[in-house]
Amino acid sequence: MTDNIFKYTDRSFPDGVPSDADLAGIVLRYRQTDQLRMYIREGNEHAACQVMSERFQKGGAGRLQDELTELKYDLVLLSGLMGQSLRDAGIEDLHLERVHTASLRKIESAASSDECRSLAAELAKDYCSLSRLQSFHNYPPLIKEIIFAVDMDLARPLTLGYFAEMLNVNSSYLSGLFRKETGLSLTEYVTARRVLRAADLLLTSQLPIKTIAEQVGISDVHYFSRVFKKKTGQTPRQYRERHAGNHEP
């Protein structure tokens, strides 16, 4: 007999018939997968994160005896399915490969079950950000590259010079092209995306405001607070206190 190298939990059913609870769990798992793929195609970040939260909540019965291994397997599976959904929707293979590779690296480095659960929503957000590219399909390739890069890593120094060097083009040309296509300067676009991501983190995490500022690419927390208030009319602390109670987890 072959050794059970994956340490599967015994899932055999008496008389070959699953219990009502087992059957409900199976149906729910596949329904969640279908929902997730639909929300990713739509770019519905909130709904996708909600499904991931439900899928990876604590206390669910596992199919493997090693919980960390099971969670990682499920994340890898869902990452592939989310990517395939976006490929079916017309997202370019190169962009998909970048996100999927980054996802696999994050999954591999997760050292605990709690890290995997936190990572689930992060992966959903990454694929929803990629889904947004579909709405920019008429943009020139240079602009799509910038939009993709901004959404994937807001912590980088996302300046005009950075992108001009990355894309090997003249900075003045790139600046004019970006404004022409989007109606915004590159700085305005990056700032808007940083504030939007920060607002999401303020409501969906307990991270300190300084940490959130760093995660969205602004190292000076005082400057971050000024930028955030200019865009939203509230300081980060006020925003968290006034809106957290209305946010659905």
Question: Model confidence at 5, in pLDDT bands (50, 70, 90)?
Answer: very low
Domain termination residue (choose one: 134, 160, 194): 134
Q: How far is CA 231 from CA 28, 54, 65, 117, 129, in A?
A: 40, 32, 48, 31, 21
Question: Model confidence at 61, in pLDDT bands (50, 70, 90)?
Answer: low
| Backbone CA torsion sign across 74, 41, 52, 27 | negative
Question: Model confidence at 14, in pLDDT bands (50, 70, 90)?
Answer: low
pLDDT at 12 over 70: no
Say whether both 162 and 215 belong to one domain.
yes
Question: Which residue is listed with tokens 């939203």?
Answer: 232
pLDDT tens for residues 77-87?
Answer: 999 999 998 88
> For residue 1, what pLDDT is reported?
42
Say whether both 187 and 97 belong to one domain.
no
Domain termination residue (choose one: 134, 162, 184): 134
3-state secondary structure of 167: helix
The DSSP element (H or E) to which 116 belongs, if any, is: helix 113-131
Number of domains in the chain: 2
Name the burial class of residue 213, with classes exposed (0-12), middle (13-18) and buried (19+) by CB atoms within 10 angstroms of its CB.
Answer: buried
CB neighbour list of residue 185: distance below 8 Å, 6 or more residues apart: 175, 178, 179
Say whether both 164 and 77 belong to one domain.
no
Residue 84 in any domain: the answer is yes
Segments in 89-159 forming alpha helices (H): 93-109, 113-131, 141-152
**Which range marks the domain in which residue 175 is found?**
138-246
CATH number where 226 lies: 1.10.10.60
Say whether both 23 and 125 belong to one domain.
yes
Residue 179 in any domain: the answer is yes
The C-alpha atoms of residue 156 and residue 65 are separated, in whole angstroms, by 39
Say whether both 127 and 143 belong to one domain.
no
Share of the chain above pLDDT 90, in %: 39
pLDDT tens for residues 177-186?
Answer: 999 988 889 9
The least confident of 35-39, 40-44, 110-114 is 40-44
Say whether both 83 and 152 belong to one domain.
no
Counting every residue written for the chain, the total comes to 249
pLDDT at 105 over 70: yes
Query: Taking Cα atoms as reference points, which of 39, 44, 28 lies closest to residue 81?
Result: 39
Say whether both 99 and 158 belong to one domain.
no
Say whether both 69 and 144 belong to one domain.
no
Residue 161 in any domain: the answer is yes
pLDDT at 196 over 90: no
Say whether both 179 and 123 belong to one domain.
no
Say whether both 130 and 148 belong to one domain.
no
